[in-house]
Structure 1
Amino acid sequence: MAIELINESGSEVDEQALSDMAEYTLQEMGINPAADLSFLIADLEHMSDLNRRWMGGTGPTDVLSFPMHDALPGRPDAVESDIDALGDIVLSPEVAERQAQDAGHSTLDEMRMLTVHGILHILGYDHAEPVQAKEMFGLQNRILDAWRRREVKP
């Protein structure tokens, strides 16, 4: 699995931890190990611009996902089985830091959660409707819980 991570934010980010989380998530989702995923760690200005241009939002957001395909293997609506480039995820460490403080956990924990969240969006999951939200957040929590259990093994 090729995971390319570029940090243009000016913030110190544990790139290896995010790459490891992404790889684990993709493995848990049964994605072909030959698939590629790109990460951009962006500053507030760049994230605000992307949010405005692509989502119609205002100000910076925590994570944006740009899938290369409409549906991916593992989803009921999948149309292709041999996808090599999954898409791009953009994360804001500054927004993640604020959210982490509000939630009472570390910025790294927040960035890991945003990594999983972004990947699930890349894979076609959404949370616009209550049923979708239950599925997506349930899956997100299952992956994060499994990761945490893996980290604390003796």
Structure 2
Amino acid sequence: MSIEVLNESGEVPSPVPEQELADLGRHVLDQLRVHPQAELTITLVDEETMAALHVQWMDLPGPTDVMSFPMDELRPGHDGEESVAGMLGDVVLCPSVARRQAQEAGHAAGDELLLLTTHGILHLLGFDHAEPEQKREMFDLQRTLLLTFLAQRGRSTSAADDDSVARRA
């Protein structure tokens, strides 16, 4: 599995170490039985870059926290089978927006970025939250994936139980 993390945000160090973002991506893709040769890029950008992407792709002003750009429309594996190999796509995060959201929600900026990364990967895999049933499924899975990742590392986070993404969606 190829997961590349690029910090183009200008924030050094990043609120979440690049290796932790890659490890989280690997955890999510493994848990959802995505083909081991799938490729994923996670990019951290500044607010100006995110605002430009937000206008270009969503026709909405200002920066947002996370955007997902699927490539080969890969889906999770089912019934013990992996999905097909290919380019999953790109998750783009804006750490400064995540930091503000984390402060409002009362948790760490790093935890918010982990939550947003999980959220972005799920969008790449075809999950959505436009309808109530879809939202419940996506956010329950998001919570489970993040909590199991953190438990493996001996950590916990209030961000996983916070539904802060749900309030903004």
Regarding TM over 0.5, the answer is yes
Partner secondary structure for residue 103 of structure 2: helix
Percent identity over paired residues: 48
State the match for 1:2 in structure 2.
Answer: 2
Which of 109, 119, 122 does residue 121 from structure 2 map onto? 119
Residues matched between the structures, number:
149
- For 2:150 and 2:43, locate their aligned partners in 1 and report how far apart those are by CA, in whole Å: 24
Cα deviation, residue 6, structure 1: 1.2
List gaps (5 residues or longer) in structure 2. Answer: 156-169
State the match for 1:145 in structure 2.
Answer: 147
- For 2:76 and 2:110, locate their aligned partners in 1 and report how far apart those are by CA, in whole Å: 29
State the match for 2:28 in structure 1.
Answer: 25
TM-score (norm 2): 0.83
State the match for 1:132 in structure 2.
Answer: 134
Runs of 4+ in 1 over 4 A off after TM superposition: none
List gaps (5 residues or longer) in structure 1. Answer: 76-80
Indicate the RMSD between aligned Cα atoms, in angstroms: 1.7
- For 2:115 and 2:76, locate their aligned partners in 1 and report how far apart those are by CA, in whole Å: 22
TM-score (norm 1): 0.91
Cα deviation, residue 71, structure 1: 5.0
Cα deviation, residue 73, structure 1: 3.9
- For 2:145 and 2:76, locate their aligned partners in 1 and report how far apart those are by CA, in whole Å: 18
State the match for 2:106 in structure 1.
Answer: 104
- C-alpha contact (below 8 Å) 1:72/1:83 kept by paired residues: no
- For 2:132 and 2:109, locate their aligned partners in 1 and report how far apart those are by CA, in whole Å: 27
- For 1:2 and 1:70, locate their aligned partners in 2 and report how far apart those are by CA, in whole Å: 16
Alignment deviations for residues 10-65 of structure 1 (CA, whole Å, 9 cap, x no partner): 01211111111111111111111111101111100000000010011110000000
